[in-house]
A = this chain, B = another copy of it.
Amino acid sequence: MHAEIIAIGSELTTGAKLDTNSQWLSLELAEIGIPVRFHSTVADDHAAMLELFRGAADRSDIVLITGGLGPTLDDLTRQLLADLLGTELVLHEPSLAYIKELFEKRGRYMPERNVIQAKFPEGSEPIENPVGTAPGIWLEYPREGREPSRVAAMPGVPSEMRRMYANQVLPRLPQGDKVIMKARVNCFGIGESAAEEKLGDLTARGREPEVGITVHEATITLRITAHGNSREECQVAIDETKELIRERMEGFVFGEEDEGLEHILMRSLVAQEKTIAVAECGSGGVLARSLSSVNENDLFRGGLVLSESGMASDPLSIPAELIDEHGVISRAAAKFAAEQIRELFHVDYALFVSAFRPLDHDEEGKPIPNAYVAAASDEHTYVQDHVLVGDPQIARSRAAKTIMDLMRRKLL
């Protein structure tokens, strides 16, 4: 069994809009074990659409179509599906009543042109749209000597499409041979090749479940994909693999799925009822942004976002002698800054990330640390030096994650 996905609209073929529906539907179909062989996008053009619809229904057992169901003359999907079946559009009274009601609720009359949205190809079935005026269309396209091809047309608006797919289309689809389920385990503090070594045969090609490694701004994500006869079977296999990953990557795993280090940190702070503040230099506020995004309990009290020259000025009150002796980017300045922020904001914990300079080497050719991070509690201040290279934005994000990870390990 194979599926294919068609997106309709000149706004897609001209490049004015990016089609993300086809990707989303492919992932959904994979979950019920149905492989997708083709995505197609076609302009609002009668001949081109008919050619594509015919070819698709002929070669694929499932055809999912998005777009072209609006009320304007450009919206051809409805008519083309009638042409595909060789029938006419007929009015579906309940759909018309529903669309009229929707307009009335918004305090408007239904324009005459919207009547077309209540018409359906003879022999097809309307699919209700609880959130918009465009109902979907379900039909079975007869194929000689084979099962009919199942065709569903859905609105192009992603939120309407996703809801209609999940509630009304998915239940009508046959189940594929194999179910696919995915899971993610997130790690920090280890390089990609070191992680690969630790994981050993877990990442071998052909292993079941598969384990793939991706890296994004120094966060390593292990992507587990399980194939099985049921969701239950996949879940068991995924749980076993997660267990193995946690054993082999001990200490580096911090979360799952969409969890970042900031979620883990904030969860601990909430449990401990402790507050936090930050200072960061040259970062544009990476730490402040991360912690703000999870600040429902107002435990992140705020921070200083500084440029390098800003760091030497008043808000942090770093003593001039300290800067003269050690410089702004130094272990001593980092320690002072973290402790100072803790007092300035009257918080339990403070984090600091320094700016970083271009890399330099000592006489033996070893790189000299060019950035410092620090974390302060009432008992202890931890400082770490860093050698940051490469893309500045990634280096900054890495520094911010490093100090959040250090706090997770040492202070929470």
Q: Report yes or no: B300 in contact with A289, Cβ–Cβ below 8 A.
A: no
Q: Taking the nearest CB of chain B, how far is it from the CB of A279, in angstroms?
A: 9
Q: Report yes or no: B48 in contact with A42, Cβ–Cβ below 8 A.
A: no
Instruction: Categorize the interface residue count of chain A.
Output: 35 or more
Q: Taking the nearest CB of chain B, how far is it from the CB of A313, in angstroms?
A: 6
Give Cα A17 to B25, complex, Å: 12
Q: Report yes or no: A39 in contact with B27, Cβ–Cβ below 8 A.
A: no
> CB of A26 within 8 A of chain B?
yes
Q: Report yes or no: A38 in contact with B52, Cβ–Cβ below 8 A.
A: yes
List the B residue with the shortest CB-CB distance to A40: B40
Contact of A288 among B52, B59, B284 (CB under 8 A): B284
Interface of A is mostly: mixed
Q: Report yes or no: B40 in contact with A15, Cβ–Cβ below 8 A.
A: no
Contacts of A48 in B (CB 8 A): 37-38
Residue among A19, A51, A310 with most chain B CB within 10 A: A310
> CB of A20 within 8 A of chain B?
yes
Mask, A21-62, CB within 8 Å of B = 1, is 011111110100001111111110100100110010001000
Q: Report yes or no: A298 in contact with B293, Cβ–Cβ below 8 A.
A: no
Q: Report yes or no: B345 in contact with A315, Cβ–Cβ below 8 A.
A: yes
Contacts of A52 in B (CB 8 A): 38
Give Cα A55 to B305, complex, Å: 57
Contact of A37 among B13, B37, B277, B313 (CB under 8 A): B13
> CB of A68 within 8 A of chain B?
no
Mask, A91-116, CB within 8 Å of B = 1, is 00000000000000000000000000
> CB of A295 within 8 A of chain B?
yes
Q: Taking the nearest CB of chain B, how far is it from the CB of A39, in angstroms?
A: 4
List the B residue with the shortest CB-CB distance to A18: B23
Mask, A182-204, CB within 8 Å of B = 1, is 00000000000000000000000
Q: Report yes or no: A14 in contact with B38, Cβ–Cβ below 8 A.
A: no
Give Cα A62 to B345, complex, Å: 63
Mask, A206-224, CB within 8 Å of B = 1, is 0000000000000000000
Q: Report yes or no: B277 in contact with A284, Cβ–Cβ below 8 A.
A: no
- Interface members, chain A 270-303 (any B CB < 8 Å): 277, 283-285, 288-289, 292-293, 295, 298, 300-303
Q: Taking the nearest CB of chain B, how far is it from the CB of A5, in angstroms?
A: 8
Give Cα A308 to B296, complex, Å: 12
Contacts of A395 in B (CB 8 A): none
Residues of A within 8 A of B (CB): 7, 12-15, 17-20, 22-28, 30, 35-43, 45, 48, 51-52, 55, 59, 277, 283-285, 288-289, 292-293, 295, 298, 300-311, 313-315, 344-346
24 A-B contact pairs sorted by A residue (CB < 8 Å): A7-B39, A13-B38, A14-B26, A15-B30, A15-B36, A18-B20, A36-B43, A38-B42, A38-B43, A51-B59, A55-B55, A284-B293, A285-B285, A285-B289, A288-B305, A295-B307, A298-B309, A300-B307, A301-B310, A302-B306, A303-B306, A305-B305, A313-B346, A315-B345
